[in-house]
Amino acid sequence: MNKLSQNQREQILSEFQTRGKIAAVKRYKDWMKCSLLEAKNAVEAIERDAEDVEADQPQSSDSVEWDRAMREIDEALARRKKLRAVKIYRQLSGKSLRECRAFVDARMEQSRSTSAESPASSTAVDSQRSGCFSGILLFASLTGLCCISGLIAIIILE
């Protein structure tokens, strides 16, 4: 069976909200060529997913606070502080520990897949590590260069 595109999911959801569940089930059944029960279950799942996404969004008009908290969560995950990220999300959302942990796990997976798709992008932690190694390598190279030039000077003077 084919998978719905994001556009089709949005159309199903729009149909559900404007014309009702029966119209959305009919549209899904026509597109996917499946049974009525499969279409009904799929439409209900699409509707539940949409409600979950709405529930994850900030309820207040203070989206600045939400954005700040999401940045804090991302920073905690970059530092491998998963517990801190769960705590921040729990304070913000007021959800259960299980729901918060699931949210943070999904956020971690999303950031992993994003970083896997674009290997050129590095996190602040990666750049700090490479900066330290680069500094050590530069120091060792300069020290070696000084030793070699000193030996050459001694050979020339003899």
Q: What is the pLDDT of residues 38-54, one digit of tens each?
A: 999 988 888 887 776 65
Contact 133, 126 (CB under 8 A): no
Q: What is the pTM of this model?
A: 0.39
pLDDT tens per residue across span 125-142: 444 455 576 777 777 787
CA distance 153 to 14: 82
- Domain range annotation of the chain: 1-56, 62-121, 133-158
Between residues 94 and 42, the one the model is more confident about: 42
Buried b (16+ CB within 10 A) or exposed e, 99-108: bbbebbeebb
